[in-house]
Chain A
C-alpha cells in the first residue's frame, strides 16, 4: 500500500525558533498533499492544501506567513512553523493523495509531535 512518512516524528524547540517538518510519499507520486494539526482528544483540523508546483491554499484562520508550506516535488511537501510559540505545540499530520482514476483516498503520515518550550 501507499506509504507516507514524516520527519521528524518528535521535535522540541525553543520559543521564537522555526521548525521544518517534512512529508514524503515513498512509493507513489502525490499531486496533492494536505496538512492537519490535531490537539489532544480533538479531531484533525485541516490547515492547508498544497499542489505540486503551486502555492498552498490555506484554510480560514490559518496564518500563511506563520505556517509556510512548500510542495516542491511530487513526493515531498514541507511545513515550516516560523517563530514558534508554545501555543503552536500540537500534533501535525500530513496526508497525500494520488490522482488515480476512481481513487480519492488520502494516505496519512504518522504525524509529528511539536513541543515549543
Chain B
C-alpha cells in the first residue's frame, strides 16, 4: 500500500489553544484526503475531507490545508477542547482505496 506518514506521533495542547496536526503523503496521484478521529476502542470518525483541486477547506472548528507541492496535509483544530483528545489519522485516496497514516495522539490538558 501507499505510505502516509505523520510528523508527530504525540501532541499535547492546553485547553483553548489551537492544535495543528501534520501529515505527509507519498502518492502525488492521490486525489482525495480525509482526516479521521479515533477514540479508544472505537472506529474512526470522519472529521473533514478535501479534494486535490483545493488547498483549504474549513469546517466547524477545523480546517484542513493541502499543499500538493510538498505533499503535505494538516489539520487545524481551533479552541481545542478536552473532547478533542483522541488519535487523528490522515488518509489518502487513489482509485478505490484509502491508505491511512500512522496517527497522532492528541492530548488536551485542562
Contact = CB atoms under 8 A, between A and B. Distances in A.
Given A43-B89, A104-B32, A109 B102 contact: no
A59 B93 CA distance: 15
Interface string B43-81: 111100100000000000000000000000000000000
A42 B102 CA distance: 6
A2 B89 CA distance: 20
A113 interface: yes
A35 to B, nearest CB: 12
Contacts of B100: 36, 43-46
Nearest to B49: A105
B1 A59 contact: yes
Contacts, number: 55
A32 B46 contact: no
B43 A93 contact: yes
Overall SS of chain A's interface: strand
Interface residues of B, number: 21
Given A43-B103, A46-B1, A105 B42 contact: no
A104 B33 CA distance: 10
A79 B36 CA distance: 23
B95 to A, nearest CB: 10
Interface string B5-35: 0000000000000000000000000001010
Interface residues on A, range: 20 to 34
Interface in A67-117: 91, 93, 95, 104-111, 113
Contacts of A107: 46
A6 B44 CA distance: 13
Interface of B: 1, 32, 34, 36, 41-46, 49, 89, 93, 96-103
Interface of A: 4, 6, 32, 34, 36, 41-46, 49, 59-60, 91, 93, 95, 104-111, 113
